[in-house]
Structure formats: structure tokens, C-alpha cells
Structure 1
Amino acid sequence: MNLKRTFKPLILVLIAIIGLQSCKEKKEDKPQQEMAAATTEQDGFVQIFDGKTLDNWEGDPNYWRVENGNLVGEVTPTTLLKNNTFIIWKGGQPADFELKLEFRIAEAGNSGINYRSERIDTIPFALRGYQADIDGKIRYTGQNYEEKKRATLAYRGEKARITSQENPDTPGSLRANVAKNAWQSREVLESLGDSDELKTKIKSEDWNEAHLIIKGNKLQHYINGILMSEVIDDDTVNRASKGHLGVQVHVGPPMKVEYRNIKLKNL
């Protein structure tokens, strides 16, 4: 018997098996963060907060920091605010987009996600524009509130259409058209659910997921997968089509808010 002829095929088979096993082990050992990155690329979302630094974000370091992988905004008894302050993403001014993130806020907290906003030159780190409202007592979370502009556009549970005031040329008419902290040229088109019932879907002092879908003049705010408010903005005088993105800490008592897994997809 020729042993060389017999063992040569066996050796080749063994080499092939070892090679396949090695490839399998490498695939199984692939770090979880690499797998997550691949998923992010496939669904079009990009992480815009790295969980380690404030790179590509701009805000007052007295109020903003990174802690345990989270973006933290905190007001203490010694750093009480005179004006609302934001940490602002420096990566662009999104127009049509989806934003996903998770937030957790203390009961005394007041915050929000601003988008399509403009910076206010006279106040450091201030934004004026659309806001997905967030608060610790869950009075306003989910509504659409326009910071320093038209005030409430849609309360939680509302799909509302916004129009211009009758005489936009009247001096001071923007504020004159706001009453009881809401824009008066608004029509509720339909109910998305009872506000108090929707409130029960939002967790107190625990992590919640916010999902904003902003396209054209339709602005949708979801919390934990549930549509909380929708605005159809037909106010051609005051609406914005693009702008800055940022998150807020609000004037008031000491508070803490945390954000994580901040992901953006341009549409």
C-alpha cells in the first residue's frame, strides 16, 4: 500500500476543515460594536453621539458632560439658569430626517429636543424653533412646542394644522397671536388619543425612546413607538425647513436629564 497516496487526501480534508473552523471562530468573535455599526449603516441611521466625548457638540460645560456613556444635562443649586441652555450638534442643519434617541429625566426636570432651529446671537447656546417637549412630571412630554416663537403647536394627543396669523405685517404680531402659551392659528384635525391615557405609556424617571419623523411640513413625535403629536405646518411666514439640532436644560429648580443612543437619518 502507498501510504503517501492514502494520507495526502486526508491531510487536504483536515486542512480544509481546520480552515473553515477558524473562519467560523473569527466570525463568532467579531466584537458586538462592529455588528451594531453594520446594522446602523444598513438602516441608514448614524450615531451622532459617541458615548465617550462631546466631540461635535457645543454647549456650556457647567451644564453638560458625558457620564456612564450618557449625555448628561444637569442644573445644580449653584448653577441655576437665567435662560434655557442647549447643547447643539455641530454636524449640520438637518432638513428632512428621522431622529431616534433614549432619554431619562428626573421628576423636577424640564428638557426637550430642538430641531430646525436657529441660534440666538444675544444668548449663549440658545435655540429658537421646533421642540419635542420632555418633562419629568410628564405634563408636556410628546407635544410640539416652538421655543421662543409660536409656543404650543400641538398638545399631546393632537394632530394639528398650523396657519399664519391674519395680519403678519403687524408689529409684534408673532407674540400677539399667542394666548395661554399656544399659537392661536391652529386647528385640531383629529385626536391621536386621550392625553392622560397616552401619558401612561411614558415611563417616569426611567428610559424612554423618542422617535421624530420630520419631513416637509409634517412633524411627528413618537414616544415608545406611539404617535404623541403631529403638526402639519402650513404657516408659510413662520415655519422652518431646516436648522440646528440640540437638547435642552430649562430654567427652574435643580434637575438632571440624560440622553443616549442618539441616531440620525437624513431623508
Structure 2
Amino acid sequence: MKSIRQINALNGLALGLLVLAMASGCKKPAETQQAATVDSAAGDGFVSIFDGKTLANWEGDTTYWRVENGNLVGEVTPTTLLKTNTFIVWQGGTPGDFELKLEFRIADAGNSGVNYRSEKVSDVPHALRGYQADIDGKINYTGQNYEERGRTTLAYRGETVTVSTQPNPNDAGSLQANVKNNAWSSREVTASLGTADSLKTLIKHEDWNTCHIIAKGNHLQHYINGVLMSDVTDSDTVNQKLSGLLGVQVHVGPPMKVEYRDIRLKQ
């Protein structure tokens, strides 16, 4: 027969186990909620398209492209000077409507850019023709919308632009005829995002910057460090592109180095 002291001890033990079980039961939903929050934060729709270790799923001339310290590096040396611009091209598809986010760092003498909705140039190895978010080391052009091997400058940094079809779309020579001072003449500046010089102060020299490209239908926006630098509505039904290849560039010129990292795409 148990004494009163033994019974009280057993009751105390049972009560302790009950409290412990209730505490564990209350903790589980909190853990589940925290996990759901983390999953939601990661589920922004962006997918990494560069693994930081290899050139897997990218195609380019390895004379100029390599992976170093987790970065996609494009470099031109005194012994590998270029005769034409060269690209490394993502092999994962031809995005139409998309958002692209990445970080870049470029040397003072560097000239590069991110091409999108582009096509290969048949007679030039590793060359692309299409829209480009321009990037350069002296920050003269970074953020503008330039069409590589096409209509040239569509919007300078600080411009909101509507682009129209050239007057004579059936004229084989009309594309070049409508380029004046390295800019497409059939374009209209409809608003200002700020002066090119004031926006330049927001871009870091020879340091890491973020680039965010948004392409939806014929509306193209380039952001640097979270600031809208150029905004193009391309209503040129003859020359506009609604999908195409994605790649990054090293440009003809002096020895240079550009680095890209954290390249993420949302389609």
C-alpha cells in the first residue's frame, strides 16, 4: 500500500509529464509556421541559372570566359584582344516575358552588357543581336537600352522612350538609314527618370552593383541598384523581339575584366 508521500510524488511526476507534453504540442505549430515563412521567402519565383562553379548550361569562348571565386568572369588580356564582341550564352531557353536579377563588377576600362531576347549572328562566332542592358566601367552607358547589331541606342540612361517603326520598313537599307549619332531616330522621349549624371552617382565604380531587367510584352525596364535607369516601350512592329536568347558580353577594346554573380531568372 502506497503512502501519501508516494502518491503525491507520483501525481507530481504525472503532472510534470503532462505539462511537458503540452509544451511540445504547442511548439510544433510554431515550428511549422516558421518553416512556412522561410519557404515563402525563398519562393519568389526566381531560379538560379549560374551555379557559381562551372560553365554548365552556358556556351561561349573559354579564351574569354571562366568561373573564378564563384563568379562568371569575362576577361580580355593584351594577348587575347578581340576583333568582334563576344558573348557567353545561356542554353536554358529563349525567355519572352521575364525578370532577370544579377550582380556585376567591371573594371574602369571595361565594356559589357546583358543581352536578352536576342538571336545568334550566323557568320560571327559567339555573337548576339538584340536588346542589351548596357554596362561599362566608366559608367557612361550603364543602365541604358542598346540594341546590339540592330537599332543601336533605344533609350539613354534617364529616359522613358516609345520606339516606333522606321518610315520605310520595306526598304532593305532603312535600318541603318534610321540610325543617327548611334541612336534610333524613330524614338520619342516621353518622360525623364532623372539626368544621366545624377543617376550615375547611384552606380558604384569598380564595385558590385545589382542589375534587374523586366521584360513584359513590348515594355522593357532596366534597374541598377534598385533604381529605374531606362524604360522602353518598343512599338516597332518590324524590329521588336518578344523572346530570344540571354547572354553577357565582353566588348572590343582594351584589356578588361567583368564579373557576374547571383544570376537569377523568373519566367
Q: Residue deviations 1:10-29, cap 9 Å, x none?
A: 3565577689999999x99x
- Per the alignment, residue 252 of structure 1 pairs with 253
Q: Residue deviations 1:211-232, cap 9 Å, x none?
A: 1111111111111111111111
After superposition, where does 1:172-183 map in structure 2 within 5 Å?
A: 172-183=173-184
Structure 2 unaligned regions, length at least 5: 1-5
Distance in structure 1 (CA, Å) of the matches to 2:178 and 2:55: 38
Distance in structure 2 (CA, Å) of the matches to 1:16 and 1:55: 51
Pair 56,38 (structure 1): closer, same or farther in 2 beyond 3 Å: farther
Distance apart, 1:171 and its partner CA: 2.3
- Per the alignment, residue 211 of structure 2 pairs with 210
Distance apart, 1:174 and its partner CA: 1.1
After superposition, where does 1:28-43 map in structure 2 within 5 Å?
A: 39-41=41-43, 43=44
- Per the alignment, residue 149 of structure 2 pairs with 148
Q: Residue deviations 1:19-59, cap 9 Å, x none?
A: 9999999x99x9xxxx9886332x11111111111111111
Return the letter of the residue paired with 1:40: A
Is the 8 Å Cα contact of residues 40 and 46 (structure 1) preserved in structure 2? Answer: no
Distance apart, 1:241 and its partner CA: 0.4
Distance in structure 1 (CA, Å) of the matches to 2:39 and 2:107: 31
Return the letter of the residue paired with 1:231: V
Return the letter of the residue paired with 2:16: L
The alignment-based identity, stated in percent, is 66
Secondary structure in 2 aligned to 1:203?
A: coil
Distance apart, 1:242 and its partner CA: 0.2
- Per the alignment, residue 222 of structure 1 pairs with 223
Pair 4,260 (structure 1): closer, same or farther in 2 beyond 3 Å: same
Distance in structure 2 (CA, Å) of the matches to 1:143 and 1:9: 70
Please say which structure displays the higher CA radius of gyration. 2
> Which residue of 12, 16, 27 corresponds with 1:10?
16
Distance in structure 1 (CA, Å) of the matches to 2:20 and 2:38: 34
Distance in structure 1 (CA, Å) of the matches to 2:263 and 2:192: 29
TM-score by length of 1: 0.89
Secondary structure in 1 aligned to 2:78?
A: coil
- Per the alignment, residue 102 of structure 2 pairs with 101
- Per the alignment, residue 50 of structure 1 pairs with 51
Distance in structure 2 (CA, Å) of the matches to 1:7 and 1:228: 68
TM-score by length of 2: 0.89
Distance in structure 2 (CA, Å) of the matches to 1:19 and 1:211: 44
Pair 132,240 (structure 1): closer, same or farther in 2 beyond 3 Å: same
Secondary structure in 1 aligned to 2:103?
A: strand
Pair 38,54 (structure 1): closer, same or farther in 2 beyond 3 Å: farther
Distance apart, 1:191 and its partner CA: 1.2
After superposition, where does 1:164-179 map in structure 2 within 5 Å?
A: 164-179=165-180
Secondary structure in 2 aligned to 1:39?
A: helix
Distance in structure 2 (CA, Å) of the matches to 1:147 and 1:112: 10
- Per the alignment, residue 121 of structure 1 pairs with 122
Residue-pair matches, total: 260
Distance in structure 2 (CA, Å) of the matches to 1:7 and 1:196: 75
CA RMSD of aligned residues (A): 2.5
Secondary structure in 1 aligned to 2:105?
A: strand
- Per the alignment, residue 136 of structure 2 pairs with 135
- Per the alignment, residue 3 of structure 2 pairs with none
Secondary structure in 2 aligned to 1:175?
A: helix
Distance in structure 2 (CA, Å) of the matches to 1:143 and 1:36: 35
Distance apart, 1:6 and its partner CA: 4.5
Distance in structure 2 (CA, Å) of the matches to 1:57 and 1:107: 26
Secondary structure in 2 aligned to 1:219?
A: strand
Is the 8 Å Cα contact of residues 160 and 230 (structure 1) preserved in structure 2? Answer: yes
* Bigger Cα displacement from structure 2, 78-87 vs 143-152: 78-87
Distance in structure 2 (CA, Å) of the matches to 1:251 and 1:36: 44
* Bigger Cα displacement from structure 2, 170-179 vs 157-166: 170-179
Distance in structure 2 (CA, Å) of the matches to 1:262 and 1:206: 17
Structure 1 unaligned regions, length at least 5: none
Distance apart, 1:108 and its partner CA: 0.2
- Per the alignment, residue 81 of structure 2 pairs with 80
